[in-house]
Structure 1
Amino acid sequence: MKWLPRGYGGERRSPECVKREGWREQGLLAVTIDDQRLTWVERELVKQLGEKLYGKRPLLKEVR
C-alpha cells in the first residue's frame, strides 16, 4: 500500500542541506557548539551569542 500518490514522495534532504539553504535563502544560521569545523574562538562566540539571545542552557544531570 502506498501512502502518497506517485511523484509526491521525493527524497529527504540532509540536515546540512537544510542548514545551508536556510542560510542562503532566509539568512538563518543553525550551528551546534560542538561543530568541529569551528575553532575554539568561533565556538565560544556561538555560545555567547546563544546565551545572549536565548539564555543559558540547562546543566545536564549525570545519570548513575
Structure 2
Amino acid sequence: MKIPPHRYPSPLGRCQPEIMDVETTKRDGWQEQHILVVSGDDSRLDFVEREFIRRLGNRLYGGKRHE
C-alpha cells in the first residue's frame, strides 16, 4: 500500500481572500450607501423592470461599444 507523502502547507494559503457572498455584498451596499448593483438579465425582474434598467444604464453610461 502506497501512502502519499505529507505535503507542506504553503504559507501563501492564508493570503487567499475569503469567499464572499455577492448577493449579501449588493444588499449591504444598497442598505448602507444606496448603491444599486443589478444585472439587466436578472430573472427576478419582469420585462418592464429589465427594460427600465437597460434604459437607465444607457442614459447614464451610453450603449454598448462596438469595437
Q: How far has the Cα of 1:58 moved from its partner?
A: 2.7
How many aligned residue pairs are there? 57
Q: How does 1:23-34 map to 2 (within 5 A)?
A: 23-34=30-41
Structure 1: gaps (5+ residues): none
Q: Which is richer in helix? A: 2
Larger Rg: 2
Amino acid at match of 1:32: S
Q: CA RMSD in A?
A: 2.2
Residue 13 of structure 1 and its aligned partner are, at CA, apart by 2.0
How high is the TM-score relative to the length of structure 1? Answer: 0.73
Structure 1 runs (4+) deviating above 4 angstroms are none
